[in-house]
Structure 1
Amino acid sequence: MYAVKAMPRPRSLTPAQLADAALAVLDRDGLPGLTMRAVGARLGTSTMALYRYVADRDELEALVVERVLDGVDMRPPLDVPWPDGIRELVDRVRAGVGAHPAVVPLLPAHRHRSPGILRWGEAALAVLTRGGFAGTRRVVAFRALLAYVVGAIQMEHLGALGGPGTAVIAALPRDEFPLLAETARAAGAVGPDDEFGGGLDLLLDGLARQLDG
């Protein structure tokens, strides 16, 4: 009789290995290319083998979000005025996410369950609280800040001023859309840092006036 050879067991994967492979696929192929099949191919394993580690693509996306945010310092800045502390927190997350722009659409989708996003929120609230925000005023300030950060990062990477969309708007008929066309033409002189930082300054200035009012 011939001895029956046992099939080799699939090698074990760590969450970090799975997240790194998924992030590599995302960076290469964008969000539409993030599939279980593509990640399995990257790891040299079958698609079905991945379901030993994640239940579905949604869980895979969550791993990617955490892998990106793992490199972001989520500690609230100390011994600085609250607007400077908020700017520092915002700049950290912008830089971390900016290294992997294809992850941007996943941030709002996972904002309620991502430990990284929740830690960032806790740090931002600590800075706002130290600045004197409390109660409903703190609620509104935090929501406005969150909306700006998520929205502005998306605009920077998915609808940048230097992208083709601006040229389309600039070419609109001036008799029908004079202000849109003029604003789009002026947008060519605005760099991404000026756009992002300028919008954040407007928001923080408005929040500061709320405290003084």
Structure 2
Amino acid sequence: MPRPRSLTQDHLAAAALAVIDRDGLSGLSMRAVAQELGMSTMGLYRYVADRDELEGLVAERVLSSVDPTPPPPGPPWRDRVVELVARLRTSVGAHPAAVPLTVSHRHRLPGLLRWSESVLELLAEAGVEGERRVVALRGLVAYVVGAIQLEHLGSLAGAGTSTIADLPREHFPYMAEAARDAPGIDAEREFFGGLAVYLRGLGD
């Protein structure tokens, strides 16, 4: 008679996420998660088949707090998309090291699928149709994922900007100028400013 299962998928996801938050994505392994749970590595295989399944549980846990409900009608469609994006940024940005998992597992994550459905609904209301709507959604997800990673790994106001600011102006005049202006731009302005530029490009 098999032993009864004592751990839930939520327990596994929480332990794996704790490992990622502490040691980065490169620190995630079946052994590390088993140690986090106080069990043997082989014992962990009673609950998940492999690391890929474990990663999927982590990604869904990160996205589970995102409210995918479309904002109520009234404000312009761009403002409603911004609200949806802000929700996603809050949840994903809380665990920046896990961001790549939300990309590699995006096609099977209920949380992200529901969020994407709401974005597509707003794009349809805005008259963005067919292949253009597909590209718009993928571009939006790419912007959010990339911007979150830049925010936590190398924001405009990061230490590297001082090095760029010292580049010789005869070779890098615009890079040097941009680096000197960057420290005055905080993470909120950087993220939502870039988002506004993207959304304006979709037209009316």
TM-score strictly above 0.5: yes
Identify the residue that residue 107 of structure 2 maps to in structure 1.
Answer: 112
Query: 1:23 is matched with which residue: 17, 23, 31?
Result: 17
Identify the residue that residue 186 of structure 1 maps to in structure 2.
Answer: 181
Sequence identity, in percent? 62
Identify the residue that residue 13 of structure 1 maps to in structure 2.
Answer: 7
The Cα shift of 1:22 comes to 0.7
Aligned-pair Cα RMSD in Å: 1.8
Query: 1:47 is matched with which residue: 30, 41, 48?
Result: 41
Query: 2:67 is matched with which residue: 47, 53, 73?
Result: 73
| C-alpha separation in 1, matches of 2:34 and 2:142 | 35
Which portions of structure 1, spanning 4 or more consecutive aligned residues, are displaced by more than 6 angstroms?
Answer: none
Identify the residue that residue 84 of structure 2 maps to in structure 1.
Answer: 89
1:34 equivalent to 2:28? Answer yes
Deviations 1:49-106 (CA, angstroms, capped at 9, x unpaired): 1112222212211111100111110111121321111000000000111111111122
The Cα shift of 1:38 comes to 1.4
Q: 1:64 to 1:134 in 2, by over 3 A?
A: same
Instruction: Give 5+ residue unaligned stretches, structure 1.
Output: 1-8
| C-alpha separation in 1, matches of 2:42 and 2:167 | 50
TM norm structure 2: 0.91
How many residues are treated as equivalent by the alignment? 202
Larger Rg: 1
> 1:57 corresponds to which letter in structure 2?
R
TM norm structure 1: 0.87
1:60 equivalent to 2:60? Answer no
Instruction: Give 5+ residue unaligned stretches, structure 2.
Output: none
Identify the residue that residue 101 of structure 1 maps to in structure 2.
Answer: 96
| C-alpha separation in 2, matches of 1:121 and 1:11 | 34
Q: 1:113 to 1:168 in 2, by over 3 A?
A: farther
| C-alpha separation in 2, matches of 1:33 and 1:180 | 35
